[in-house]
Structure formats: C-alpha cells, structure tokens
Structure 1
Amino acid sequence: MEIELSALHWIYVVFIMLIIGFMVKRRDTTLVCLVGIFLLSMAATGDFVLSLRKVFESFVFAIGELLSTIMIICIIVAMSRVLLKTEINEVMVSPFSRIIKNPALAYWTIGILMMIISWFFWPSPAVALLGAVLLPVAIRAGLPALGVAMAMNLFGHGIALSGDFVIQGAPKLTADAAGLPVSEVVSASVPLVIVMGAVTTLVAFFMLRRDMKRGTIEMEGNFDGAGKDQEEAEPHLLSQNQKRFFAFLIPVAFLLNVVAMSIFDLSGGDATGLIGGTTLALLLVLSMFAHKNEGLEKTTSYLIQGFQFGFKVFGPVIPIAAFFYLGDSGFTQIIGDYLPKGSHGIINDLGSALASVVPLTTEIAAMTVAGVGAITGLDGSGFSGISLVGSIANLFGTVIGEGTATLTALGQIAAIYVGGGTLVPWALIPAAAICNVSPFELARRNLVPVVSGLVVTTIVAMILI
C-alpha cells in the first residue's frame, strides 16, 4: 500500500535540508532542530501547548536512547583520568610506541585492529577497548586525534559493521526482507564492502595527510573545552613496580572481556555493558591503590570528571538526535499515534515514495537503492531501515530480472555507513568522545570520503548486476 506524503513528511524533508546546510556552513543546528520538532508536533496535533511539551519530551527520549553510550564514555574517561594522574598510561603505551613510528602506521594499524575486533564484537565495545590505549601512541607518532577517530570510525562503524560478516545481524535483516538466504547477501556484499572500504579509508587518509602538511589540523582533541587535563600528573602515587603491574593488568582485564564475549556470545549493548562494569572495577581498584585513605572520595571525583566530559560532548548532539528520532519509531513514542494510516515511519515512507517514482533500469535501481539506504540511515540507527532496503532491492531485482543480492548488499552498505556511525553525528559519538574531538567535525571530515565511496561502490554494483 503506497502512503500519500503528508505535511509531516514535507516538514521533515525541509528541516533535513536545513540541518545539512547549517552543518556544511559550520553553524549550530540546535535552534533548527527545536523549531523542526515543534512544527512536526504542531502539524500532527494542532495543539500549541502540547507541542511545547513534546519538544521537551523529545529530549528525554533522545537521552534515554543514548544513555548507554553516554555512560560508557563517561566511565572510560573517568578511568583515563586515573591513568594520566598516576602515569600508568606512560607504561602502557611504551610497547606500542616501538611499533607505531609515524602517522601512516598509526592510521592503518589502529584502523585494521578496529576492523578485526568490530567484526566479532561490533564497533562500540571496540572503540572503548582501543581508544584509551592507542590514542596517546598515535598522537606521539604524529597522527592527530581527529585522524585516530576517523580511522576507528571508518574501519569499525564503516567496513566492519556494513559487512557484518561474523555476527551477521545486518545481512540477516536485509536477506529476510529480500527473500534471500543470508549467505547469498554476504557473498554479494564482499566485493562491495572491499571497494567501499578501500575508497573511504584511502580518500580519508590522503585528505588527512594533506591537511597535516598544511598545518590546518590540531594534534590533540579539545572538544571538552579544557584541552589538557586540569590536574597535574602525580607519578609518586604509585611505585614503578605498581605502575608496571597495573599496566599489565588493565589490558589483560580487557582481553578477558574479549574472551568472555566470545564464550558467552555477547555483542552490542551486552558487550559494552561488560566493558563498562570492568572499567568501573578497575577505576575503583586504581583509586584505592593510588590515593589510599582518600580513595573513596577520589573515585567519586574521577566519576564526576567523566560525567562532566560526557555531557559536554553530548550536549550539542541531543537536540539533533531528538529531531531525527522522530523520523522512525520515536515519532509515536514522543508525539503519539498521529502518523497517516499505513505509515511505517516518516523516513521509511520517504524511501518508499522515492522508490515508487523512479523508472526501473539497472543503473536507476542501483542509484535508488543506495539513495533509499542513505535516507533510512538518517535516523542514526543504520539498522532500522535496512528491511525496507531489502524489500525494495527484491522489487527492483524482480523487475530487471537479476541482481537482487547485489542490490540488497548495496542498500545495506549505504544505510549502515550513513546511519551506523560515519556521517550521522550522534552515531559516531563513541569514537569522537574517546578521542576528545567534536562529533560534528568528525562527521564533516567523513563526508567527502563516504560520499566518494558510495558513488564508486554504486558504479561497481551496476557493473556486477
């Protein structure tokens, strides 16, 4: 059943364009998002007072959706404060310093490690595992913090998550919707994932190297407004042997987390929770050893610093997340059941409408599926719209008589690269926060590489169909 686009759909489209325009101009989008949420609520309910309420409630909903990510970032940052204070981090990074000698080695080493870990446990836990340890090493080798964030982001939330070869959550959703075996979609996605990954990471690397030569990119992140840690390091808090012991214990603890994830089949939020609990335990032990009688108070102090950092990072993101959540199931949870009858959410309706008005040729089919995938990724999930992508790929593949699996894989890659964490600012917060860089700046940096990759990958898909 085809849904007729309503005022809600057109308001949403206009404000997407405004938000993108403001981002390109490097202007703040909070006011635009607030007005968009209010107008969507007014168009749905016609009630001015209720619409004011819904603006606030959309913030509450967005915070709830992002809370687990906020918490893991806050806790990781809190632990990193202890490592810096006691100079345990100096001991931890010394072995990597001998391997990572220059910016290029830092970029590719961090990226490949991120991709491998993300295949097995998804990117968010991988960011937490790698970022705190390898960021200082990369900066010493000459790679800016923003470059570290790009490497983790493009290899983890891009290459690993878009293919999802091991856990196979993404191909299962798209394959079911397209009426294909999962193995067929995975096989079809291999060349496309390789092309997309190669183009995005190479373009990103060469643009990064260009800007480093020009001196237009800062080495260290300073998104929390403070730059360097406010507290001075106190090397006397622990003996050298104690520093070595904890420098050994911390990676071993996280390695045991990886083993536990494999044995107990933990991924996504469960894996992130395990890492968060381990980090809290390490924070408490380190604080007690370093500060002794003041350990309990210092633990609270470190947590406060972590929470302050986390909410500074997330403050600009919550309004834009609140707006884009209205494009999916968040609409009914925030505003109510005011969508047109038969609607599957504003974003999915727009995707379906786009698919219904284009002529069906191989080239148009590939461009449309990629476009629909990118549109459905704008809600910041990457996964919410890939069932729609599979359905459209099945429709187009049936009409043109071939290429259903390739179209399905292409749409999956487009949706997850955009929404799973390389272009939508709040989806790439984990990498941005660990590296202490602005998620909006990271999104802008990723834009040219990801768009270039999508163009080349779409062309390759046309050839393969």
Structure 2
Amino acid sequence: MSAAHWIYLLGLAAIIATVVAKRNVVAIAVAATFVTATAYAGSAVTGLAAIFTGAIVATRELLSIFVIIALVTAMLGAMRGLGADVLMIRPLRGLFRNGHISYVVLAVVTFLLSLSFWPTPVLPLIAAILLPAAVRSGLAPFGAALAIAITGQGMALGSDYIMGVAPGLSAEGADVAAGAIADRALVISLIAGVVALAVAYLRDVRTKMLDPIASAAITLPVSETTAAGGAAGTGTASENTVSGTAAATGDGGGGGGTATLTRPDVASGDDGPARPSKAARTVAIAVPALFAVLLVFMLLGRFTSLVPNIDDGAGAPLVGGTSALALVVIAIIANRKGWLEEVGSHFTEGIAFAFRTMGVVIPIAGFVYVGLSDYSGEILGLPEDAKAPAFLLDAIAHVQPHIPDVPLVASFAMLLVGMVIGLDGNGWPGLPFTGQLASSLSDGSGADTATLAAIAQNGASWTGGGTLVIWSSLIVVAGLTGVSVVDLARRLFVPVVTGLVVATAIVSVIP
C-alpha cells in the first residue's frame, strides 16, 4: 500500500462524507483525482492531465448509456409532438381510484416502463401523464416521488434485465454468463423493491394521503399540457401550440423553463377540446406493440432455443436501434415535408437531455476509474506495457484475507463494495471490478459467483442509479414531482438500505 493508495482511499472517504452531508461531490472528485495522480507519478503535470483524461475515459465508457437515453428520449419527443405519448398510457389513468391504489399502480407502471426503456427517458412521460392522476386521487407528490424512485431508479436499474448492459459489465470481470447474473439480479431487485416500497408506504406514504380539496390545490411542475417539455426539451414549431411552465425544484439541482410543445396532428376547433388524430392513435398503439415484440424476442432467446440468444448487453443496441428507426417513422408521419429536420431536432434534444441529467457523473466516474487497473494506466499516462495501478482493488485485496469464508459475510461484503462503487452517481463503471471481486470471493467462501456479482450490481445501481445520491437522476425525479431532492434522498435511505439488506440475506442463504 503506497501513499497513492492511502490518498485514493482518503478521497473515497471524503466522497462518502460528502454524501452523508447531502452535498455535491464533483469538486471533491476532481481534487481527489488530482492529488492521487500527483502522488502516484510525483508530478503535478500528471495530476492535472489525469483530471482531463479521467473525464475522457469516463465519457467513453459511459457513452453507450448516454446514447440509449438520447435515442429513447428522442423517440418519446417525436411521440409527444403527435400527442401519442398521452394516448399510449392514458387508459392506465382509470386505475387511479385512491391514493393507496395509486401508489401501487404508479410503482408497477414505472417499473415496467423503466425496465423496458430505462427510467431517465420515461420520467418526464410518467410525471406528465400519470403523476397528475395519482395526485388527484389523493397520493401526495412526495409519496409519488418515493414510488417512482424506488421502482425506476432502483428496481429497474438494479437488474437491467431487458437492456442487459449492467449484467454484461458484471460478467466481464466475473467470467460467468451475463444471463445468469441478470436472472439473479432480477430476483434481488424484486425483493429489495417490494421491501423498500412497503417500508416507504408504512413510514411516509399512508399517513400523508391528500383529501380532494388538498389534491385540487396542488400545482405540479409538469402537467399533461406541458407533457414534460421542460425536462426533455421543447417541441418543434407547427400549427397548434400548447405552452406551459415546468419548474424543476430541489436543493441538489434541476432547473426550470418554459416548455412550448407542438401538436401538429391534433384536430381542434372552437366547439370543443382537441381530439387526437388517427396518426397519433396509430403511433400510440404501434410503439408499445413494437417493443412488446422485441421483448418477447429477447425473452425467447434467453429461455428457449427458438431464436438466437441476446446476451452480454446486446439488448441495449436492439432497443436503441429500434428507438432510432421508430423516431424516423414517427417524424415522417408527423411532418412529411420537414421530417428530416424533425429527426435532427429530436435527436439533439435527446442528447442534450442525456448529458444534462447524467453529465455530473463524468468527473466522479473519472476518479473511480483511477482506482481500477483497466483504466488507470491510460488516465495516468503510463506506457501500454507498464503495469497499471489498481488502488481500489489493492485496498480490497488487502482486506480480503480478513473476510471470513462464509457465504453470508461474502454477500454483505459485496453489497458494501457495490454501494461504494455507486457513489459515482451511476454505479456501472465499477461493475467489471465487482465481477472480478465476486469471482475471487466465491473461490474461498463457496458462494455462487453470479449471485455475488448480482448483489454488488444491485448495491451499485440502487446507490448510484438514483435513490441514495443527489447528483444522479434522482434530481430529475425530485424536479418533476416538485419535492426537495435532499429530503427525497434522506427519506429513501431507510427503505432502500432495508430492502437491499433483506434481499442480500435471502439470496445468500438460498442456493
């Protein structure tokens, strides 16, 4: 353990302390990267360069996540221009009978949508269409924010069962099939999610239901008329325009602005409210059907031999490509004369949305990568044939001999490591490392490698994906529901940690 090792660990401890204080850690991550690299190389020049190179490496490794968010957001933006996004999930609004039922329905719908499209791109859609109905039924905005964060940022990302990016990253280090990790991660995320939802309901939701008068008096940052324009960008110029203001609130970030949406294919008149066009109805039916077919294809490949197996993160390219083609088709339907500009505009808005919501992760991930040997050599400017340092792995390897060879202890050690990795505000950059550690711990403890990797994946995803740190997409959840992101993270801590502990205990004792 060199001085650079201890400095890296001190930087990690400083980040954890900043997390506990509910403050942004970007500045801490930048400073820790500089000091660690300077201590290792003995040169401030290397330290300065490491800050920049670390950001480049982090951007490259996270680019696939940014692009898939951008493509799905762009497709939803094109649907929004037609009004098809509202039609797609409007039938679900009839399920919101009272606040208690709304809590469950909002959780289930958010989980299913987030599992299929990832939570960040669908958050504006959920907040614009389902949230108003849930609040009108008596569910307080804070209760809705808890349901959305637990099921979207936690459960869906914890398993990433459909996209398969997270299991693929975990499998790189664990040397086991990504499908095996995905299956176990899904079970863990479901157990943790159900426990977290139950704890949050008993602790914060059921005692704070709204009466009809209080529900009617609440003004949400995003309404159906704005259709999430303030979070995902402004619509394109056309014949009929609906304007509204979306103000994202929260101590940790967010923003506000005036959203102008266009509904070019909505028939309206002076005698009544606007009616959705035939094109909007067609798109509202076709898009869910298309992704349902894609989901069935992927599941058949995973569990049968009828079609080729889609594994090792190949689900994300399929979903991304499908979203891109759907964007083109929807743009043609919406605006046959200007569809080329429509596609470019929506894609640009999608890219901007992805970087606006996830860009803060880059410098934090850069610091995490300095501690991983697969990336540290490039960040520190070492020759290709030089041995790259692994500050984090070395530190854990230093402690590993003292971890009892007991599956339960190994499981909770992996959960703790995963949660530390998740402090970067994303959780996935360190998954190859946790996979490698899972393989190492399983040799001595006899625990299943895939299970250990899945535990760490859930710990990292729930923490960094957006339930425990405020520099993640939890900012978007808070902004769209109009609650404080600091208060939301604070109230999520007990339900989420309880859920993860219970899930880890269960899977560690059941073969």
Same fold flag (TM > 0.5): yes
Aligned to 2:400: 355
Matched, 1:247 2:289: no
Partners of 1:75 and 1:303 within 8 A in 2: yes
Aligned to 1:386: 435
Amino acid at match of 1:386: G
Unaligned runs of 5+ in 1: 398-403
Whole-angstrom distance in 1 between the partners of 2:296 and 2:93: 26
Local SS of the residue matching 1:229: strand
Whole-angstrom distance in 1 between the partners of 2:63 and 2:122: 21
Q: Cα distance, 1:137 vs. partner?
A: 4.4
Q: Structure 1 residues 322 and 254 mapped into 2: Cα distance closer, same or farther (>3 Å)?
A: same
Partners of 2:189 and 2:458 within 8 A in 1: no
Q: Cα distance, 1:259 vs. partner?
A: 3.6
Q: Select which of 255, 265, 274 maps to 1:225.
A: 255
Partners of 1:81 and 1:302 within 8 A in 2: yes
Whole-angstrom distance in 1 between the partners of 2:188 and 2:286: 40
Matched, 1:26 2:66: no
Partners of 1:83 and 1:89 within 8 A in 2: yes
Q: Select which of 362, 365, 390 maps to 1:345.
A: 390
Aligned to 1:265: 309
Q: Structure 1 residues 50 and 174 mapped into 2: Cα distance closer, same or farther (>3 Å)?
A: closer
Aligned to 2:463: 423
| Larger helix share, 1 or 2 | 1
Query: What is the 5 A alignment of 1:21-420?
Result: 21-102=17-98, 104-105=100-101, 107-109=103-105, 123=115, 125=117, 127=119, 136-139=128-131, 140-142=133-135, 144=144, 147-158=147-158, 196-207=192-203, 209=205, 213=209, 220=222, 222=248, 225-226=255-256, 229-231=259-261, 233-234=263-264, 235-236=266-267, 240-261=277-298, 262=301, 263-267=307-311, 269-328=313-372, 329-337=374-382, 345-357=390-402, 367-368=412-413, 370-372=415-417, 374-375=419-420, 380-381=427-428, 382-395=431-444, 397=445, 404-405=446-447, 411-419=452-460
Whole-angstrom distance in 2 between the partners of 1:447 and 1:169: 26
Partners of 1:74 and 1:310 within 8 A in 2: yes
Whole-angstrom distance in 2 between the partners of 1:84 and 1:187: 34
The sequence identity of aligned pairs, in percent, is: 24
Aligned to 2:238: none
Whole-angstrom distance in 1 between the partners of 2:182 and 2:284: 39
Q: Structure 1 residues 352 and 196 mapped into 2: Cα distance closer, same or farther (>3 Å)?
A: farther
Whole-angstrom distance in 1 between the partners of 2:185 and 2:75: 39
Q: Structure 1 residues 226 and 129 mapped into 2: Cα distance closer, same or farther (>3 Å)?
A: closer
Partners of 1:77 and 1:306 within 8 A in 2: yes
Amino acid at match of 1:350: A
Local SS of the residue matching 2:335: helix
Partners of 2:418 and 2:458 within 8 A in 1: no
Q: Cα distance, 1:225 vs. partner?
A: 2.1
Unaligned runs of 5+ in 2: 136-140, 223-230, 232-247, 269-274, 302-306
Q: Cα distance, 1:332 vs. partner?
A: 1.9
Q: Cα distance, 1:152 vs. partner?
A: 2.1
Q: Cα distance, 1:38 vs. partner?
A: 0.7
Aligned to 2:497: 451
Deviations 1:343-366 (A, max 9, x none): 872222222222224566787666
Whole-angstrom distance in 1 between the partners of 2:478 and 2:313: 22
| Larger strand share, 1 or 2 | 2
Partners of 1:108 and 1:151 within 8 A in 2: no
Q: Cα distance, 1:430 vs. partner?
A: 9.7
Please identify, of 97-106 and 282-291, the stretch whose mean Cα deviation from structure 2 is larger: 97-106
Q: Structure 1 residues 359 and 106 mapped into 2: Cα distance closer, same or farther (>3 Å)?
A: same
Q: Structure 1 residues 210 and 264 mapped into 2: Cα distance closer, same or farther (>3 Å)?
A: same
What TM-score do you get using the length of structure 2 for normalisation? 0.69
Amino acid at match of 1:389: A
Local SS of the residue matching 1:265: coil
Whole-angstrom distance in 2 between the partners of 1:271 and 1:447: 31
Whole-angstrom distance in 2 between the partners of 1:302 and 1:57: 30
Local SS of the residue matching 2:433: coil
Please identify, of 345-354 and 58-67, the stretch whose mean Cα deviation from structure 2 is larger: 345-354
Q: Cα distance, 1:255 vs. partner?
A: 1.9
Local SS of the residue matching 1:387: helix
Local SS of the residue matching 1:231: strand
What TM-score do you get using the length of structure 1 for normalisation? 0.75
Whole-angstrom distance in 2 between the partners of 1:203 and 1:451: 10
Q: Structure 1 residues 278 and 102 mapped into 2: Cα distance closer, same or farther (>3 Å)?
A: farther
Q: Structure 1 residues 102 and 171 mapped into 2: Cα distance closer, same or farther (>3 Å)?
A: farther
Q: Cα distance, 1:246 vs. partner?
A: 1.4
Partners of 2:74 and 2:327 within 8 A in 1: yes
Whole-angstrom distance in 2 between the partners of 1:145 and 1:368: 30
Partners of 2:361 and 2:472 within 8 A in 1: no
Whole-angstrom distance in 2 between the partners of 1:275 and 1:160: 13
Q: Cα distance, 1:56 vs. partner?
A: 0.9
Whole-angstrom distance in 2 between the partners of 1:270 and 1:362: 31
Q: Cα distance, 1:59 vs. partner?
A: 1.0
Q: Cα distance, 1:230 vs. partner?
A: 3.3
